[in-house]
Amino acid sequence: MNCAEAAECVSALFDGESISREAAAHLSACEQCRVRLNEYAEMGAELRRVANAASPQGIPEGRWRLAEPAAATNWLTKWRGTMRIPRFAFALMVLSLLALSTGLFLTRAKETPRWFQYEVLGRDGKMIMGGTTPANPGGNPYYDGGAEMPYADGTVWFHIRMLGQIGETEKIAARAGWLPRGEKWERVRNMPEREFLYSPGDNLKIPVDGYGNLEIKGHFESTLPENVRMGLYPEDGKLRIDPPVILVREKEMLGKFDNGGGQLSQDKSYFAYGEQSEGWYVFSAKPIAGAVEGTLTMNQIEFKLDGRQYFLFTGDPILFGNVKIWVKHYASIRDADPTSAGDGWQENIPRLAFGELENLAVEK
Amino acid sequence: MADDRDQWERIRGRDASAFEAFYRDNAGRLCAYLGQIVGSPQAAEDVMQETFTQIWKSPNGFRPELGSLRAYVFGIGRKRAAEWWRRQSRVPDVRGGEGQHESAEGRASFSAVSDAFSRLAQEQRSLLWLREVEGQSYAELAVILQIPLGTVKSRLFAAREELRRIWRSSSDAARSMK
């Protein structure tokens, strides 16, 4: 092998690539090739030095923030470039489609999305919560959503809020964390908020370390969705707790819970309202051992405990009509239900908890 | 690579904070690289911004098995730079042409090697920059430049030899003037 034949191998060797034994033997003995290798090294070092000296002093603000993630592509432009069928035939087809759907287009053109309706799904694909908010809620915490979903190995917690509509997307802020069983809440509660842009039709994945993904699916509506408008009352056999939830003792308001909520089975589930200073009040439409009996009428629960009168009011009817309800006070929700997410208080803000009656310790 | 996958999943999931981190990690280096292709710093920044905007708007196409996320963004940047040149309606690859001289301007340092580098064909500058400055592997270069692995090797050799030839001839010329 001569130098001309080995020259390309010098370049490869310089890059740390493997070369043939024959080339290696030549390079080890050839002064000319050694000079070439040294010059490559010198050139490389000089280029890196120049690059460092010329590197930007600061990184400019990213203009990507101004861009709307666009699922839709400019189909007309693509059509011009990639048409493979006779264009007059395609044009006729488009005109026919337009004629068929003109009414729809005219109607939709006047619509302005005002509402964003969404569901949050867990890692198993099951819905954890759903909600409807204005597309631009203006920072009103009433429309924030949040939940804790217990699993056998821990609890996933999240808090989401809609920041507003951007083009055809909804900007969503989310904090979410995974709490393995036995760990304390502080780490999870202090998770930083992350922002996402959600395009209706997609599944927005919110990665949660240790858990997997939460998923959000949603869509815009120009008018208040029927299930909200007509859904003043929950389905038969269900109780529904919607904020604000206010607990009153005698004439004193003990606290007000503003975001979140849920729907539960009237026969199998309980809900609880808690405050750090008050402990937890567990409510069930089925008898609980040691509980006091109260009444539930539309959006109001009334009961008497330790000789004092209590009222719990909710933002919407808990059910249509009235039923008996059982209430029991616990210092800790975990005293009542070991499977519950626990007492992760944050500045004594009231909380709600939901669970299954079969998990209540008093039932066993 | 696992980190790249995770970061990409977050970007695909419209995680703006993940994209911001991705941008911070790569924008400066991409801008420097694009400067070698398009010539002026302003044009390089424009193309860099277009590159990130394109990825944010349509996060598709990254295949971790083919290379790193950085190689992917450099590949897109290179394509956007080619489009930029087409929009300028002029041929980028003329040795000693307008683009090359502009790229040499504004640099903090001038040396015989950088002068020789500025005289290389745009494709050769691009290739050498990615290899020497960005440290891209042969496999990543093949993805970015969309050429076979063997071609990466031969083109790198050709670019180095050309750079060496210009560098040496300019050094000889400088010596003869003294």
Q: What pTM does this model have? A: 0.42
Using an 8 Å CB-CB cutoff, list chain A residues near B46. Answer: none
- Judge: B161–A7 Cβ closer than 8 Å, yes or no: yes
Q: Lowest-confidence range among A79-83, A179-183, A278-282?
A: A79-83
- Is ipTM > 0.90 here? no
B17 near A CB under 8 A: yes
- Between CA A3 and CA A19 the distance in angstroms is 14
- pLDDT tens-digit readout, A281-330: 999 999 999 999 999 999 999 999 999 999 999 988 999 888 999 999 99
Using CB atoms and an 8 Å cut-off, which of residues 117-156 of chain B contact chain A?
Answer: 117, 128-129, 131-133, 138, 153-154, 156
Angle B79-B84-B86 (CA atoms, 0-180°, nearest 5)? 95
- Between CA A220 and CA B10 the distance in angstroms is 23
pLDDT at residue A35 above 60?
Answer: yes
pLDDT score of B158: 93
Residue A268: which of A238, A232, A240, A245 has the closest Cα?
A: A238
- Between CA B60 and CA A251 the distance in angstroms is 60
- Between CA A93 and CA A76 the distance in angstroms is 14
pLDDT score of B91: 43
Torsion (CA) A80, A81, A82, A87 in degrees, nearest 10 = 30
Using CB atoms and an 8 Å cut-off, which of residues 48-107 of chain B contact chain A?
Answer: 49, 52-53, 55-58, 106-107
- Judge: A70–B27 Cβ closer than 8 Å, yes or no: no
pLDDT score of A252: 93
Mutation pick from B3, B5, B8, B15 vs chain A, by most beta carbons of A within 10 Å, is B15
Identify whether the C-beta of residue B22 lies closer than 8 Å to the C-beta of residue B69: yes
- Judge: B29–A55 Cβ closer than 8 Å, yes or no: yes
Domains and CATH numbers, chain B: 2-177 (1.10.10.10)
Task: Give the gap in angstroms from C-alpha B82 to the nearest C-alpha of chain A.
Answer: 19
How many CB atoms are closer than 10 A to CB B49?
Answer: 22
